[in-house]
Structure 1
Amino acid sequence: MKVNGLKELGRLRDALREAEAQAAAERARQAAERARRERERNLFTSSVGPVRPMKPSSRALPSRTPPSPEPRQRELDEQAALREALSDEVDVESLLLTDDGLSYRRPDVSEAVLAKLRKGHWSIQGELDLHGMRRDEARDTLSDFIRLAHQHSRRCLRVVHGKGHGSPGREPVLKSKVQRWLAQRREVIAFAQAAGPQGGAGALIVLLGSRDGQTGHAARQPR
């Protein structure tokens, strides 16, 4: 019995020593953590100097008017719909007038308006050059160009599609496509082949209707 008692005392002593070692290790860890925090506070103080809380202010913060929402998604949807609506398969020849310039005018636009367009009666208010563009890129670019010009009340435009000198067979690939696309745009009321100084067979002069719905009375612009 005495031997067993000594063994129990030995195990108890070992357990106490282990507990003391763990407690000492925890105290050392906490001391190291306090020292680390103190070093950080001292570093902050030495870097920025002494600080003190700001006094509460009774001034009201200025209110900012939020910007008006822009229908971005609706605009993107409208542009996508316009691009899809422009077809390469429209029989534009039935719409074009049978003259050398393959002119086009809506039924409610007089021949006199078309004659003025051929003669350069109106100043060019915007120009688009489609040289080097692929079909889809040219169609989208032309669609955006016409839409923005109409929004800004620009009436007379020049669209350069090229004469085809750099195309296979030296044929103007975009010319017939541009005519088809323009004839399908509701903003376009007439177009004609440009005169020599304005690009000749490589360009079209396009007349847009006014935003108030008047089609045949574009105001003459000073040159």
Structure 2
Amino acid sequence: MTSKEERLAFLEEMKGVRRIRKPNRVETPVPRELTPGHLERQRSAVAAPALDRNPLTADVVEPLGAHDILSWQRPGVQHGVFRKLRLGQYPIEARLDLHRMTVAQARKEVFDFINDCVRYGLRSVIILHGKGERNPDGIAQLKSYLAKWLTELDAVLAFHSAQKHHGGTGAVYVMVRKSERDKQHNRELHGSR
């Protein structure tokens, strides 16, 4: 059969068929009055903004430059442990890349990342924040905020700018506190003291 013959055969088969006039949809009436439930949901949505459980600073922080070194440790972190972290001698168990994020996005990601590290027992991680060298004002914005945020998280024991092969001053090694589960496991293995 040629294309013309097929078309004629199709039209012959469809001879008695008529188009449906009504749309093939169910019409549902929209209630015109708002119920008390509707009004309450509207009121609560407008009145109470969602609670932000993220404790990280959202205010202005001290600006840092591209080549500034990040270095901080909580009291009680042994010097040898901090030295190994600073030299990048601990295996990197996870990484978070903040490149191309806004400060608000990075704030959420850092908070979630550190909490996940504690949850999964990850102790030595790296966060790539970039140097901010392309910024016209010379301020490394994410780096500046990260330096403040990491000190605000109880789960962070120490941090230091990475070695050159891991990103240098555009990345930071982070030492994360053990979870309670891991602490308990160590007590069981080595006897409680």
Alignment partner, residue 108 of structure 1:
76
Mind listing any 5+ residue stretches in structure 2 that lack a counterpart?
Answer: 1-50, 187-193
Runs of 4 or more consecutive aligned structure 1 residues displaced over 6 Å after TM superposition: 90-93
| TM superposition shift of 1:170 | 3.6
Structure with bigger gyration radius: 1
- Is the CA contact (8 Å cut-off) linking 1:131 and 1:162 kept in structure 2? yes
**More deviation, 170-179/130-139:** 170-179
Is 1:133 the equivalent of 2:105? Answer: no
Partner of 1:86: 56
For 1:131, the aligned partner's letter is H
Partner residue in 2 for 1:210: 178
**1:151-190 deviations in Å (ceiling 9; x for gaps):** 0000111101101123232431111100111110111000
TM-score scaled by length of structure 1 = 0.53
Q: Is the 8 A contact 2:70 2:172 kept in 1?
A: no
In the other structure, the counterpart of 2:143 is 175
- Once residues 80 and 61 of structure 2 are traced to their aligned partners in structure 1, the CA distance between those partners, rounded to angstroms, is 25
Partner of 2:133: 165
Aligned sequence identity (%): 34
1:80 Cα deviation after fit = 3.0
CA contact (8 A) 1:90 1:180 kept: no
- State the distance in 2 between where 1:89 and 1:112 align: 34
Cα RMSD (Å) of the superposition? 2.5
Paired residue total? 129
Gaps of 5+ in 1: 1-78, 94-99, 218-223
CA contact (8 A) 1:122 1:156 kept: yes
2:149 aligned partner, one-letter code: W
| Corresponding residue for residue 24 of structure 2 | none
Residues 91 and 164 of structure 1: is their aligned pair in 2 closer, same or farther, counting only changes over 3 Å?
A: closer
TM-score by length of 2: 0.60
Between the aligned partners of 1:124 and 1:141, the Cα distance in structure 2 is: 18
Alignment match, 1:192: 160
CA distance in 1, matches of 2:61, 2:100: 25
Counterpart CA distance in 2 for 1:90 and 1:113 is 32
- Relative to structure 1, is the Cα distance of residues 208 and 88 closer, same or farther in structure 2, using a 3 angstrom cutoff? same
More helix by share: 1
